[in-house]
Chain A
Amino acid sequence: MLPTSTLSSSAAPGSNSKPPHSHLELLELYRQMVLIRLFEEKCEELYQKGKIGGFMHLYIGQEAVGVGAVAARQPQDSVITGYRDHGIALAAGMTARVAMAEMLGRVTGCSKGKGGSMHLADINLKFWGGHAIVGAQIALAAGLAWADKFQRRDAATLCFFGDGATNISYFHEALNLAAVWQLPVVFICENNKYGMWTPIEKVSAVTEIRRKASAYAIPSDVADGMDLLDVRAKTAAALEHCRAGHGPYFLEVITYRFRGHSMGDQRAYRTPDEIRKWQAEDPIGKFEKVLLDAGVAPADIDKVDDDVKAVMADAVAFAEASPFPDDSEIWTNIYIEP
């Protein structure tokens, strides 16, 4: 079944790999970005109220990457990411209700309240998580793709990770294995310039991350992470490369997180000028302009904004009304065969 959001009233994402033409399609992509933005602003608020616990990493500013890339997938393609996973989860089709319930640790959450912010997943959407050990998802992606190739499923895996993850052994081991075994993985590096609080220049010998892929003979491209259609088109091309049996592909997407690394980040390591410069490139504002240029009626855009606000109000109400897991749940799902 096509991974569509239950919130969607228009064309589903992932239905083709060509640039979108119809207004409905453009509005749907716009809707997904607005949903992620409002979802996370609500998360910020609930975190500050103490309703969300643990570590929480916001995707605000990077919405065009997740939405653009995932929109290029076919329903059989897999998606996996790291701990900055809310945006990817929603782009993959998770409902705001289920995602918010997980944020609040409720039994109605996607992981029954056992995973939290960093561990969203939905196997039915082929969204494999939400993995919070830096770089681990890159190794897991090689395995997901190996299984698909072994079963001749004509499926590929979109594997998201940050620039910080490209210095860890998993990255190098997995890229090498994917190249040697010709696995259908699109490695998508969301280069947001900072690994936690440290600028990329201080920790990475090369700052054009895609050059690391060339060490493993993996072809690469770069996309503008503030431009949804650019991300989508380049991901579609990468997926075609995988589907044609040419092995992995590497896509570096230049982006920026408008918030800090995680909640509580005071952001002293970035200048206000730098943040302002990137905020002027807000991917949602830019995409709204694309819609207007394409002739989408402003009223239709406003309606999407209003619909998403209603969806978010409903999601929060649903999550808050949902029960916490029963204490007895600590003993479930440890072993399948105890």
Chain B
Amino acid sequence: MAGLSISKAIAQALAAEMERDSNVVVLGEEVAAFGGTYGATSGLLDRFGGERVRDTPISEGVIVGAAVGAAMNGLRPVAEIMGINFAFLAMDMIVNHAAKVHSMFGGQFRCPLVVRTTSGGGRQLAATHSQTVEHLFAHFPGLKVVAPATAADAKGLLKSAIRTDDPVMFVEQATMYSQRGEVPDDPDFLIPLGKSDVKRRGRHVTVVAYSKMVDISLKAAGELAKDGIECEVVDLRSLRPLDLDPVFESFKQTNRCVVVEESWRTYGVGSEVAARIYEECFDYVDAPVKRVAQKEVPLPYAGNLERAALPQVEDVVAAVKSVL
């Protein structure tokens, strides 16, 4: 075990999978010579050479387009899109092609592709560069969507994402790259896609989160514990396939739930989780499911405005208290 940053954990996962399978290739803006905007592809060019680690033009459509074509024709590309806000420029390729070439042609084609990208606010980049929109991609059958919250999860999930024959959106949170955690060294350390994980045990309220909101929720749980309120924090880890069994199991004990998401509430992950709880656990409901989310505004630049719009620890604390 070693204390590693998320960015190092990702670089380790990429290197391990490239070592294991010579068809794994990495492409994207600044991934080779510069080592990735967030350092997550650092060292790969020196180790694996320019044919397997390729800088691309600033052309999101063809970055993913070439990756889909190459995946259909036998490679296992990991395409980096610098930010999920720019993935809109590749949205057609992701949702109309990556997600559909297997099914629409009757199973003839495979698309073992990973699109790595970053999501989230908190860096004063203003409205177009700060969005949290992985749930939009999770709407589409045919795609898998993963969003890790810890360095170990980032490594284990990315390795699984590269090994699966299905297309995966792998969404990292932009402010979390330097966050450190214990990460197993084992090159075959894998975490299965589509499995939620209980990050903290508790019996009073079920708190459901993913990505950075797991950290926020754990901090809130720490605060609440001082008052004797025990939260069970469930990390979804994958938005599709969505594994809600641990949520239902927890809810049947707590009868109360708060869902925390960095994105807007309307049509969001919280909406889905709440609806599924009402469908599956109606007889166990003691309080309405509460959603903590970003204010429904384009995220402003000024630090105080940005902070006011994004979900904070105190928002989660207040929401948990409100369902008790």
- Given A136-B65, A337-B164, answer yes or no on A150-B75 (Cβ-Cβ < 8 Å): yes
Contact, CB under 8 Å: A334 / B141 = yes
Q: Could you say which of B51, B70, B102 contacts A144, with CB atoms under 8 Å apart?
A: B70
Minimum distance in angstroms from A218 CB to a CB of chain B: 14
Contact, CB under 8 Å: A174 / B25 = no
Interface residues of B in 104-131 (CB under 8 A from A): 104-110
**Which residues of A lie under 8 Å from residue B182 when comparing CB positions?**
none
Minimum distance in angstroms from A215 CB to a CB of chain B: 14
Contact, CB under 8 Å: A78 / B73 = yes
Contact, CB under 8 Å: A143 / B107 = no
**Which residues of B lie under 8 Å from residue A142 when comparing CB positions?**
62, 65-66, 69
Q: Which of B90-98, B227-235, B256-264, B289-297 contacts A (4 or more CB under 8 A)?
A: B90-98
Contact, CB under 8 Å: A140 / B72 = yes
Residue of A169, A177, A338 contacting most chain B CB atoms (<10 Å)? A177
Give CA–CA (A200, B144) in the complex, Å.
Answer: 40
Minimum distance in angstroms from B131 CB to a CB of chain A: 21
Minimum distance in angstroms from B285 CB to a CB of chain A: 30
Give CA–CA (A338, B54) in the complex, Å.
Answer: 30
- B142 an interface residue at 8 Å Cβ cutoff? yes
Closest A residue to B194 using CB positions = A338
Q: Could you say which of A123, A146, A334 contacts B70, with CB atoms under 8 Å apart?
A: A146
Give CA–CA (A337, B110) in the complex, Å.
Answer: 11
Closest B residue to A337 using CB positions = B164
**Which residues of A lie under 8 Å from residue B71 when comparing CB positions?**
143
Give CA–CA (A145, B70) in the complex, Å.
Answer: 8
- 1/0 contact trace for A83-119 toward B, CB 8 Å? 0000000000000000000000000011111110001
- Given A142-B66, A177-B66, answer yes or no on A136-B96 (Cβ-Cβ < 8 Å): yes
- A163 an interface residue at 8 Å Cβ cutoff? no
- B56 an interface residue at 8 Å Cβ cutoff? yes
- A161 an interface residue at 8 Å Cβ cutoff? no
**Which residues of B lie under 8 Å from residue A176 when comparing CB positions?**
57, 59, 62
Residue of A113, A115, A335 contacting most chain B CB atoms (<10 Å)? A335
Contact, CB under 8 Å: A140 / B166 = no
- A333 an interface residue at 8 Å Cβ cutoff? yes
- Given A129-B105, A151-B74, A173-B57, answer yes or no on A335-B142 (Cβ-Cβ < 8 Å): yes
- B103 an interface residue at 8 Å Cβ cutoff? yes
Contact, CB under 8 Å: A111 / B73 = no
**Which residues of B lie under 8 Å from residue A338 when comparing CB positions?**
241
- A28 an interface residue at 8 Å Cβ cutoff? no
Contact, CB under 8 Å: B108 / A139 = no
Contact, CB under 8 Å: A143 / B110 = no
Contact, CB under 8 Å: A143 / B65 = yes
- A122 an interface residue at 8 Å Cβ cutoff? yes
**Which residues of B lie under 8 Å from residue A129 when comparing CB positions?**
101, 105
**Which residues of A lie under 8 Å from residue B102 when comparing CB positions?**
333-336
Q: Could you say which of B62, B67, B72, B107 contacts A174, with CB atoms under 8 Å apart?
A: B62
- A128 an interface residue at 8 Å Cβ cutoff? yes
- A147 an interface residue at 8 Å Cβ cutoff? yes
- B19 an interface residue at 8 Å Cβ cutoff? no
Give CA–CA (A181, B25) in the complex, Å.
Answer: 15
**Which residues of B lie under 8 Å from residue A136 when comparing CB positions?**
65, 92-93, 96-97
- B68 an interface residue at 8 Å Cβ cutoff? yes
Give CA–CA (A336, B112) in the complex, Å.
Answer: 10
Give CA–CA (A181, B75) in the complex, Å.
Answer: 16
Give CA–CA (A122, B57) in the complex, Å.
Answer: 31
- A40 an interface residue at 8 Å Cβ cutoff? no
- A205 an interface residue at 8 Å Cβ cutoff? no
- Given A111-B105, A123-B108, A336-B165, answer yes or no on A139-B62 (Cβ-Cβ < 8 Å): yes
Interface residues of A in 319-335 (CB under 8 A from B): 332-335
- A310 an interface residue at 8 Å Cβ cutoff? no
- 1/0 contact trace for B24-53 toward A, CB 8 Å? 010000000000000000000000000100
Minimum distance in angstroms from A149 CB to a CB of chain B: 9
- B61 an interface residue at 8 Å Cβ cutoff? yes
Contact, CB under 8 Å: A143 / B73 = yes
Give CA–CA (A128, B71) in the complex, Å.
Answer: 12
A sample of 12 more A-B contacts (CB under 8 A), given A143-B66, A144-B69, is A111-B105, A114-B105, A121-B108, A128-B73, A139-B64, A140-B69, A144-B72, A150-B25, A150-B51, A170-B62, A177-B66, A335-B102
In the assembled complex, 13 residue pairs joining A and B whose CB atoms fall closer than 8 Å, in A order, are A110-B106, A115-B105, A129-B101, A136-B65, A136-B92, A136-B93, A139-B62, A141-B69, A143-B68, A148-B73, A174-B66, A333-B103, A334-B102
Question: Which residues of chain B have a CB within 8 Å of any CB of chain A?
Answer: 25, 51, 54, 56-57, 59, 61-62, 64-75, 77, 89, 92-93, 96-97, 101-110, 141-142, 144, 164-166, 241
Going nearest first, the 7 A-B pairs with the smallest beta carbon separation are A143-B69, A139-B65, A112-B106, A147-B73, A173-B62, A140-B69, A143-B66
